[in-house]
Amino acid sequence: MMLLLVTTFLFLAILTVIQYKEEAEDYHRDRLQRKEANIIENINYVLKNTTYPIETATIPLIFKSKIYEIKDIHNLEIHLYDLKGTLLKSSRASFLKDTSYAKLSKDILQHIENSATKTYVYSFEEDGQAYQSSYSYLTDASFKPLAILNLPYIEDDGFINKELKENLMRVSIVYGFMLLMAIALAYFLSKYITRSLKTVSDKITETRLNKRNQKIRLDSNSSHEISSLVEAYNGMIDELEISAAQLASSEREAAWREMAKQVAHEIKNPLTPMRLSVQSFQRKFDPNDPAIVEKVGEFSKTLIQQIDTMSSIASAFSTYAKMPAQQDEHLDMVKITKLALDIFNEEYIYFYSEEKEIIAKFDRTQWIRVITNLVKNSIQAIEKNLPSEPRIEVRMFSEKKTLIITVSDNGAGISEENKEKVFEPKFTTKSSGMGLGLAMVKNIVETYKGSITLQSIEGKGTTFTVSVPKI
């Protein structure tokens, strides 16, 4: 609305200026024509009452003094030229010193000759002042051309420009007042309209799939359009709750189904060699064999190893299933990180912290799991790559309200195709392990509203970056 109002004012101002300019041109042209007609009538009167013969050569004698009288009557300079453009007589007193009117150009003579009315008006500017100069033929009683009459006319637009400025000022005041009214009206209307819209916007922003969302209640004064929008939102909330419940149920079933398949698969791996070992022992068992004790020992050792493997599988899944069990407390993260690193015997693990103490709200056991899993992952990557100077660097620092810890190694690195999979449960590139370590780390960090990212170049090393809020 305001832009339309301003645009209308600009167009109106432009049209007003154009109109005043055209009116000024028409005014000056008509005024010059009237003066020219009156002067010609006055000149014809002088020619009728002169005693000199009416010829081109006698024009200076006929108008010797009369030209000044005509100038005073009409308040306009008068120049008389012969038919070849040579000045015969001028009302300008300083003519002898000013030679600018002494001769007409061939171009002007040609324009007069070619004009149907035998008149020509020439417009020009001089020293910033606009002029018009008219040229027309003077004729005798038989309409034979005697001379060329030239009337220079100054276009004084002072009055018209003053009127234009006053008109534009009045229009500006009116439109300025209308603009202020439009601003005030737009403000109050927008406040009335957007009050309800802001309520809807806030509720939509707060809408989450994992919580119960509140419906919007509006007063009876709300517009039909806002009411329709609110009804649509409330209907969406109902559908969202149903969908969320169905999705949660479906995800739980899918997760347990996938977990059961993974547990079954992992348990089958040690069961196969256990079965083969029992069958082999049963087939070759001989109580009288002098090495029977040694064979029973080997057989028992094999079974115990497979049982331990099954136990570790069960523990890993149990630990992952219980994530995260939070017992939050204010921890010195620098101190706890050092304690977590002390369990490792590798000499190529280095810890750096920019601050002596960084406090965050976290579960002590969970943070130790994060550090140990990331460092174990780096150790395994180094053992896979075997660099000449193995190195793992753990760095800790803070940025504003965020604690950042990086774990870098110069191990085997991660391929591009595997970067997006490393945080998925049961994904692993190793021959042993459940592939739950990094998934568990991601789960813990995100539970505390943090994030974990990685940068890796295959064959050169990997850097994990963990960010969590600090106090």
| 126-141: pLDDT as tens digits | 766 677 888 999 888 8
- Greater pLDDT, 162 or 390: 390
Note the Cα 279 to chain centre separation in Å: 73
Q: What's the rounded Cα separation, in Å, for the pair 158 and 78?
A: 24
pLDDT at position 97 is 47
Among the residue ranges 243-247, 248-252, 295-299, 457-461, the one predicted with the least confidence is 248-252
Give phi and psi for 302, each to the nearest 5.
Answer: -60, -45
- Greater pLDDT, 272 or 296: 296
pLDDT at position 335 is 94
pLDDT at position 464 is 97
| 305-348: pLDDT as tens digits | 778 777 767 766 666 555 545 688 999 999 999 999 988 989 99
Q: Is residue 53 reached through a cis peptide bond, with omega within 30 degrees of 0 on the bond before it? A: no
User: Quick check: 117 pLDDT over 60?
Assistant: yes
**Strands across the sheet containing 461-469:** 349-353, 392-399, 402-409, 461-469, 451-457
Concatenated DSSP letters for 147-216? EEEEEEEE---HHHHHHHHHHHHHHHHHHHHHHHHHHHHHHHHHHHHHHHHHHHHHHHHH--TTSPPPPP
Share of the chain above pLDDT 70, in %: 82
pLDDT at position 22 is 84
| 294-312: pLDDT as tens digits | 878 877 887 787 787 777 6
Amino acid letter, 192: Y
pLDDT at position 96 is 45
User: Quick check: 164 pLDDT over 90?
Assistant: no
pLDDT mean over 169-186 = 86
Average pLDDT along the chain: 82
Q: How long, in residues, is the chain?
A: 471
**Residues 344, 375 contacting (CB under 8 angstroms):** yes
Q: What's the rounded Cα separation, in Å, for the pair 394 and 374?
A: 10
Q: Which residue has the tokens 């969320």?
A: 244
- Greater pLDDT, 197 or 342: 342
- Greater pLDDT, 271 or 177: 177
CA atoms within 13 A on the CB side of 317: 18
**Closest by CA position to 83, among listed 37, 148, 170:** 148
User: Quick check: 398 pLDDT over 90?
Assistant: yes
User: Quick check: 69 pLDDT over 80?
Assistant: yes
Among the residue ranges 59-63, 283-287, 337-341, 414-418, the one predicted with the least confidence is 283-287
pLDDT at position 144 is 87
pLDDT mean over 71-81 = 89
pLDDT at position 157 is 65
- Greater pLDDT, 93 or 105: 105
User: Quick check: 389 pLDDT over 50?
Assistant: yes
pLDDT at position 410 is 94
pLDDT mean over 96-117 = 76
pLDDT at position 179 is 85
pLDDT at position 420 is 83
Q: What's the rounded Cα separation, in Å, for the pair 288 and 299?
A: 17
Among 43-57, 231-245, 296-310, the range with the most confident prediction by mean pLDDT is 43-57
Note the Cα 188 to chain centre separation in Å: 28
Note the Cα 294 to chain centre separation in Å: 79
pLDDT at position 316 is 64
User: Quick check: 100 pLDDT over 70?
Assistant: no
**Closest by CA position to 195, among listed 228, 235, 222:** 222
User: Quick check: 169 pLDDT over 70?
Assistant: yes
Bridge partners, residue 149, by sequence = 80, 136
| 406-449: pLDDT as tens digits | 999 999 999 988 888 888 876 666 545 546 788 889 989 998 99
Residue 324 exposed, middle or buried by CB count within 10 Å (0-12, 13-18, 19+): middle
Crossing angle, helix 333-341 and helix 364-385, to 10 degrees?
A: 50
User: Quick check: 211 pLDDT over 50?
Assistant: yes
pLDDT mean over 229-250 = 76
Concatenated DSSP letters for 21-63? HHHHHHHHHHHHHHHHHHHHHHHHHHHHT-SS--SSTTHHHHT
pLDDT at position 158 is 63
pLDDT at position 395 is 97
